[in-house]
Structure formats: structure tokens, C-alpha cells
Structure 1
Amino acid sequence: MAAGAPRIFVSHLSGVAVFDPAGDQVGRVRDLVVMLRMGQRPPRLLGLVVELATRRRIFLPMTRVTAIQSGQVITTGVLNVRRFEQRPTERLVFGELLDRRVTLTETGEEVTVLDLSVHQLPARREWEIDRVFVRKGRKGSAFRRAKGEALTVEWTAVTGFSLEEQGQGAESLLATFEQLRPADLANVLHHLSPKRRAEVAAALDDDRLADVLEELPEDDQIEILGKLKQERAADVLEAMDPDDAADLLGELPTDEQERLLSLMQPGDAADMRRLMSYEDRTAGGLMTTEPIVLRPDATVADALARVRNPDLSPALAAQVYVCRPPDETPTGKYLGTVHFQRLLREPPPTLVSSIVDSDLQPLDPDADLPAIAGFFATYDMVAAPVVDEAGSLLGAVTVDDVLDHMLPEDWRETEFHLDEEEVATDGS
């Protein structure tokens, strides 16, 4: 559902077919998973519970839903088929929120929830519940239909859903820190007791935990990963940037590495193994395997559409790499780079192959850290292609990864930290 599209009432999603990009049905929607928040803030829609043909129920994150239209849900085609397990901070819409008795804030009258509507936030890949369809009067029963006026109100017009603010359960702590950037939340976790750190990590969704793990010191990463169930640990590693996940895997014992790799999607596991084959502090060891790759016949409009992806870091979105097929790394022959500023200056129908910068020499995968830093400083780059002897693009090194390896190991603790008063340390 594109930003600005009409809202969708959740009752219309019950039993809706889910299709992959090729048009093959993969299952049907059986529920929606939301995360409640403190006060009157609307809940986030995290994803869908999808029942496969085998009757197994899996979790489909909203980040992998590309469209909801004409009574069907379209996915990116990448599905994790592990059985869905509800987490402490999650609520099922059909199973827990519908038919619930809540209170109208303005009048204090109790009403019954009949339906909820969801919408996608503008220019973001996040969804929220925004409105509630309720009926006044007593709740009905299996033998008698309730009578009374039905009306649709804003989420903020009712109470009885949101989290209570007293206590210090993981839910309340998560709600308190929800607006923090991953680096700041990582700093909070670092200062929590091991018990509280494990509770919060267990309650975070996979994508959020992956972002936070990337910002934590190595010891904290290993501790948190070790307290997760192995299936979930594999999911979180898949959600991390490939280079960060490979670095973390490389710190684990070999048998544990193999167990986690065997639980990952084959493509993700192959990327991990390839990155782990390079020496630390080399271009191959620092690179991500997921830069923006375009074929020569792609247009400027195609490139700008890829750059707009909100899941990309600013460094990865700064340029695109033009290669012959295949498009996945390792690619076909690397032809050159097109910088974001150049894309903005050209007409949308222009072929990227006609404006490619082929003069800039790419990095060799065995280039060491001083050579990589010198490359960035010489050419004022924020990302650089890594190309092998055969001319295939292997990935891209970004300036943040270079800085991470050039700063002192304890830089997170000595330079950027919150006041101790801001950190909840109870629960030891």
C-alpha cells in the first residue's frame, strides 16, 4: 500500500491470499501483529500471521509487504518459514483486540471494538493503527446480537488498549526508549544489568534488535546473541548488515557458527561465508554484499527509485554501481559508478550506462585498512566498490565501517554516552 493510499480495515484482511512477486500463492492472512505503545500513541503494525498450505503459521514482517490491493497481499518473495511465536510485547489484532471493551475518552462510555483500520506512514515503511470502529451498548453474545450506535473514532479517542505506565516490565522500558536512535538505544542496553539487557533484547523485534546489535561492543553482542533461541539468533543475524553479521559470527566458536549458518536462508548464509573468508580489516572483510546494483539498460529514474529505499544507509544510497548480469553480488562485469548528485542532474529517461564514472579505480578485496582510508580521503568518498580480479563487483565498503575499525575499541564508552540518570538500571 503506497503512502497516501486509503486506510484498510483489518476485517478485510482476514483470510486474504498472500502472493509472491511471480503470482504464486504462498498462504493466507490469519492475524495481524501489533506493538502497543504508552499513552495515546497509535500501535505499530509489525507484520502478518500467514498460514501456509501446510497449515504452518509464520510471521511476515510489513517490511516485506510490497502491496495490499484488490483483496490480496503481495510480498517481496522472501519468506521465513519458521513457525510464528508471539513475543511478550506483541498483540494479535483478531485474537486480542477485536471484541474488546474499551472506553470513549470524551463521555466515559464503554463500547465494543468491532474493527480497526491501518495505514502506512508517509515516506516510511512503517504502518500504524489509526482508527477504531466501535459499537455502543452492551456486548453481544453468541445468541444475541448487540444493538447500539456504531461509529468510527480516532485511536486517541478511546482508552483501554495502551500500556500502563507504572512498573518496569520490558514493555514499558521499550516504549520509553522507542524514539531513540539505534546507537543511543545500544548505549542504554550497554549500561543495563545483564538481566534487564536480556529482557529488553528478547522483547525487541528482529529488525530493531539487529540495528541495535550493530552499534554495541563485541562482548555485548556475543552475550545477547547467546541468550536468544538459536532460531531467533539466526533471524536477527539475517536482519543485520551482512558485514556486521559476519564480524559477529567470526567471534563465535566454529561449531556455533555452523549451527547458526545452517538455520539461515541459503543466500544469506552464502554471503556470511564469503565475507568470513576474507581477513579482518581488509576491503573484503569490511564490505557489505548488498549495494545498489543496476544493469546498463537501467534509467536514472530506476536508480533514483532504488536510492529512495528508506532501509538504505545514507552512505549506501550515495551511489549506484552499474554491472552486467547477474545483479546479485558477485555480479557480472563491473562497469562503473554513478553518484547520487549526477543522478539528480540528468533527465529521468537517461541510461545509467551513459553517465557512469569508469575512471575511479575500485578497491581490491585484499586492500588493507590504511589503503582503504587513503582511498576515501583522496577521493572524498563515502562508499567504494570492491571488485575482484575477474572484474565482478563483490560489494561496497562504507565510510562508517572504516571509522568503526580505526577508532579505539572503547570509543563508544569514552566519547558518546548518556547521562547515568537517563539509564534504567533496576532489575539486577
Structure 2
Amino acid sequence: MSLSQLLRRPLVGRDGASVGRLSDVIVRLRGRDYPLVAGLVARIGNREVFLPIEQVTDFGRERIQLTSEVVDLRPFERREGEVLLRADVLGHRVIDVAHVELVRAHDLGLSPHPEGWIVACLDTGPHRLRLFGRSGAGSGRHWRDWKSCEPLIGHAQSARVRGPFGRVGRLRPADIADLLEDANRTESHEILQTVHADPELEADVFEELEPDSQTRLLKEKSDAEIAEVLTRMRADDAADAINDLPQNRRQPVLDALPAGQRTKVLTLMGFNPSSAGGLMALDILTASAGTTVTEALSLARAARTLQPEALTSIHVVREGNRLIGTVTLVVLLQARPDARLDEVMATEPVRVLPDTDVEDVALLMTDYNLLTVPVVDQQDQILGVITVDDILETVIPEDWRRREPAPHPAYRTDGGASAGPTRVTDLGG
């Protein structure tokens, strides 16, 4: 049955007398399981009352049959964990987790189940909202399995029963960032509430946001809350985020950062953002020339806090942290375990100064097929490293960013890796 065809349908008692009309359907969310219908909201005169689902004997095409004409006339009050399908979901946008997009629920499909009636699917077809059984001209239905979607209902009490992070928490940070950039203020607030339960995920999501969206969402947080997010971000991304904040908020946020992160951020803020110094990451893996291949691989294995993209190479240094060579992890894996780094490293590695323009860095990395490039001072002391993903984010033209995005890989919603769209049979009345 479709919800739009049920709404406003008359409710009749056992004797056939009219009791009222259906105003809404109440369900209880059950985490990854289909929502179970708990009852109905009936409009009787000018009041709305609750009818338990046990009082319904039949959902007919013309009317809804009740076991009795006697109903509790106390005004309806929503209980914790309850969701109203018409008020909370119908006409609102939901997240299609399988395809990572925000779609509008034009209708909802109810199906019988051994436990009772469940919400099985949503109609997200590209048509005008269907209400009370009336369809838009030329409309087409597109039913999606409920389990592939995450409703955005703005109701904290029911959100708690969806699980620690809901289905959204299983998406990649970049995918969640795309959703946030497409969401309105209310929707983005609920998505952020979901990812806030995992601070590391929240920081990764903010790193992936476009600068304008990142600033907009950070400005709605307190100084302490911004600092909490920036503490877990890479120092170069945190520095960019602070630079994009209003002037009067930068210092309070800096003061709220832990000392170590504050020092890194202030260092990076001292460089031009469009230079190698403003783009580099400060956390790098270095080793001395006498380190063996086995020891170097152990260092890489233990460097769990470093950006993975920066771990493609180990930088070989001598006294005063002066760079003398680099060695990639591939070379280390193929070398003799007892070999020293000065036997396998590339001498005179490509490197740049902090004031080098990012366009020049991009050309160097392209010419020499580099995944990372170290940044050094005039004395060859290593200061940081630039990764290819940071370069790409900087040099991709703005109009390229605004074009239609590439399709996302489909996600499975049953805990597996990926899947195509779910097919749901069209529903009758």
C-alpha cells in the first residue's frame, strides 16, 4: 500500500459507522531493520488521537476497518522513538546511502510482515509530490528499498534508535562532504550530528569540504567546538580553515587548540597559502643513512598518526635534519632486509623551497612522476612534504569543481562492499 493513497481515508468502526479520517501513520525505527508500524493518528473533528495498530483489522481500498468504534479521545502525543511518516518523511529529503545522494520521498510503501506492517520502500521518482492519491501529470514511480536510505527527519529522540552512526557513518568522508554541500541548513545539521559521534570521521569530513562549505559549517560552532574539530585535522588543513574564518574568531580558536597543534598551525599560517610552505604537511618520516631496510619498514609500520599519502617515501637525513636522499616503500620492500638506506636511496632528490609557487610544484611532480615532494630551507633542512592529492586540490580549476560530479560507487546497505540499485515491485493501492 502507498501512504499517499491511505491518507485521509475514512476510519470506520465494527458497525460501519464513521469514526474519523487517517491523518498520519506512526512507525518505530529499528536500526537497520524495516520500521514497524505502531499505530495511526486519526483526525476526529478538530483533534488528533492515537489508534494502536492492533485496533485495525483491514486496510481497505475505500476505508480502514477498526475492531471497534470506541477510541481513546485523549490528544495524540508523540512518544520517544516514534516517527510520523506524513509529517517527518513524506515530502522530505532522505539520503540514498547506496548511491550517495539526497532524494525526496514522494511516497512510502507499506507491506505486510510476520511482525505486522512495515515501511518497505520509498518512491523518489522525479515528479510532483503525490498527496492523497493524486499524482502529477506524466509522473513515474521509482521505488527504493528503505534499507538503502537514511531519513532526515530532524527528530533527535528517534535518531538515537538508528544505531551509533546510522548508515551515513559507513560512507567515505568525501561522500559525506558531498552530501553536506548539497544539504540545506536543517539537513546538514542532522548529518553533522550523526558524524559527530565519531570525532575522527568528523575531522576527515571537514578536511574534504570545499572551503566555502567548510567555513559556513564551522561558523555555526562555538570556538571550542571548532578547535575540537581542527585538533584532529591535518595541520595544513586546519591552518587553511582558520585563515578562512572571520578575523575576530581566528585568535580565540587558535587559543583553544592544544599546544602542539597550535604550534604547527601557526608555522603554516606564516607562509603564503599559494606557496609550497602553505601547502606542506609538517608530519614526515625521516631516518638516518645508517638505518637498515628492516628498521625503516618498522618505522613506517609504526607511523600510524602520519598521513598515509605522505608515507610513500622515507626521507634520509643527516645532522641538523638536512635532506640527503629519499627512498620509496616499494624500493624498501624489494631491497635486501640488511641493506642500509644510503645504499638504496635516491641521492639529490627533487625538493622545493617554501616560497615555491604551487603551480611550479605541480609541474615538478608531473615531470618526475612524484607522489610526494619534500620542502626544505636554504640549508636543505627538511621542513615538510607536499603530497600529490594536495596539489590536485589546489590546481584543479574552479569551473571543473562545479561541473556535474562523477557517479559515486554504489554502496551495499546490508554490510557488504557494494551493490547496484535495489529493485522493488510497484505497489498497488
Please tell me the TM-score bracket, short chain as reference.
0.5 to 0.7
Identity value in percent: 31
Pairing 1:398–2:380 present: no
Question: Aligned AA for 2:213?
Answer: D
Higher relative contact order (CA 8 A, sep 6+): 2
1:232 to 225, 236, 245: 225
- Tell me which stretches of 4 or more aligned residues in structure 1 moved more than 6 Å: none
CA distance in 1, matches of 2:248, 2:225: 17
Q: Is the radius of gyration larger for structure 1 or structure 2?
A: 2
* Residue number in structure 1 paired with 2:359: 370
Query: Helix, strand or coil for the counterpart of 2:315?
Result: strand
Paired residues, number? 257
* Residue number in structure 2 paired with 1:200: 191
Mapping of residues 158-197 of structure 1, within 5 Å? 168=153, 169=155, 171=159, 172=162, 174-197=165-188
CA distance in 2, matches of 1:319, 1:229: 38
CA distance in 2, matches of 1:274, 1:166: 43
Deviations 1:160-191 (A, max 9, x none): xxxxx887457549412222111111111111
Pairing 1:221–2:210 present: no
Query: Helix, strand or coil for the counterpart of 2:383?
Result: strand
* Residue number in structure 2 paired with 1:389: 378
* Residue number in structure 2 paired with 1:261: 254
Deviations 1:169-214 (A, max 9, x none): 5754941222211111111111111122123224422211111111
Query: Helix, strand or coil for the counterpart of 1:321?
Result: strand
CA distance in 2, matches of 1:286, 1:243: 6
Pairing 1:245–2:234 present: no
Query: 1:167 and 1:404, CA in 2 relative to 1: closer, same or farther beyond 3 A?
Result: closer
Query: Helix, strand or coil for the counterpart of 2:405?
Result: coil
Shift of 1:393: 0.7
Shift of 1:297: 3.9
Shift of 1:302: 3.1
Q: Is the 8 A contact 1:188 1:418 kept in 2?
A: no
TM-score, normalising length: structure 2: 0.54
Q: Is the 8 A contact 2:203 2:232 kept in 1?
A: yes
Shift of 1:396: 0.5
Shift of 1:412: 4.1
Give the root-mean-square deviation of aligned CA atoms: 2.9
Query: 1:353 and 1:236, CA in 2 relative to 1: closer, same or farther beyond 3 A?
Result: farther
Question: Aligned AA for 2:243?
Answer: G
Pairing 1:341–2:322 present: no
* Residue number in structure 2 paired with 1:315: 309
Gap regions ≥5 residues in structure 1: 1-36, 41-164, 326-330, 423-428
Shift of 1:294: 2.2
Gap regions ≥5 residues in structure 2: 1-29, 34-149, 412-429
1:282 to 272, 275, 279: 275
CA distance in 2, matches of 1:410, 1:202: 31
Query: Helix, strand or coil for the counterpart of 1:336?
Result: strand
CA distance in 1, matches of 2:184, 2:405: 19
